[in-house]
A and B are shown apart, each in its own frame.
Chain A
């Protein structure tokens, strides 16, 4: 069975600094997708970034980028120039290519210090 592990329950970063959130996953599939979702205090899940497993290039979205290491089954999220609004719970998620089911990690609570 596929699993997603986030080993950092909580992280803290100074405003304007860079922080990296870790995520590892376990799968025997070759076709899959990986996601980072942000859940702020409002509880609204927001898609931060998405990576297709077949793409070697790491996805980037403005200040957010990933380090996708397929062989190591690692999918970390880097947030550059952290802002107060980045404070939230971040969930890493996996989806097998031909299925609907998103499997979420346990989340990392990110605090941004002014």
Chain B
């Protein structure tokens, strides 16, 4: 149980285009989902917290107009990188937390590698 998927697993796009990444909880409902960014050989940094049916909460320094997050259902959250630039190239990981309790553990998706040319 507790499987989280991401699609696509990798994407290459041209500078200036937008890219959408999907995060799905496959066998549980996730009131809350999280989006992380990981640069090569570095740790994960939380970008934003996504709550179903409400606006995402962004971490300090993360541009909300650049990284659009939509959590339309209890099993799906999307991250759209708008007008992507080479500096947005990174590994994006989502996680999901079962149920509504803050005591629950987060389960991670396999990540999406984005390369902006």
Contact = CB atoms under 8 A, between A and B. Distances in A.
B71 interface: no
B47 to A, nearest CB: 11
A35 B105 contact: yes
Size category of the binding interface on chain A: 20 to 34
Contacts of A106: 42-43
B78 interface: no
Nearest to A44: B110
B91 A99 contact: no
Size category of the binding interface on chain B: 20 to 34
Contacts of A100: 32, 34, 49, 97, 102
B4 to A, nearest CB: 10
Interface in B76-117: 91, 93, 95, 97, 102-103, 105-111, 113
A59 to B, nearest CB: 12
Q: Is the interface of B mostly helix, strand, loop or mixed?
A: strand
Contacts of B97: 100
Given A43-B91, A44-B108, A45-B93, A104 B102 contact: no
A35 B42 CA distance: 18
A101 B108 contact: no
Given A50-B105, A100-B97, A44 B46 contact: no
A25 to B, nearest CB: 14
A102 interface: yes
Interface in A80-114: 91, 97-102, 104-107
Interface of B: 32, 34, 38, 42-46, 49, 59, 91, 93, 95, 97, 102-103, 105-111, 113
30 contacts: A33-B103, A37-B108, A43-B38, A43-B91, A43-B110, A43-B111, A43-B113, A44-B109, A44-B110, A45-B93, A45-B111, A46-B108, A47-B105, A47-B107, A97-B103, A98-B102, A99-B102, A100-B32, A100-B34, A100-B49, A100-B97, A100-B102, A101-B46, A101-B59, A102-B34, A102-B95, A104-B43, A105-B43, A106-B42, A107-B42
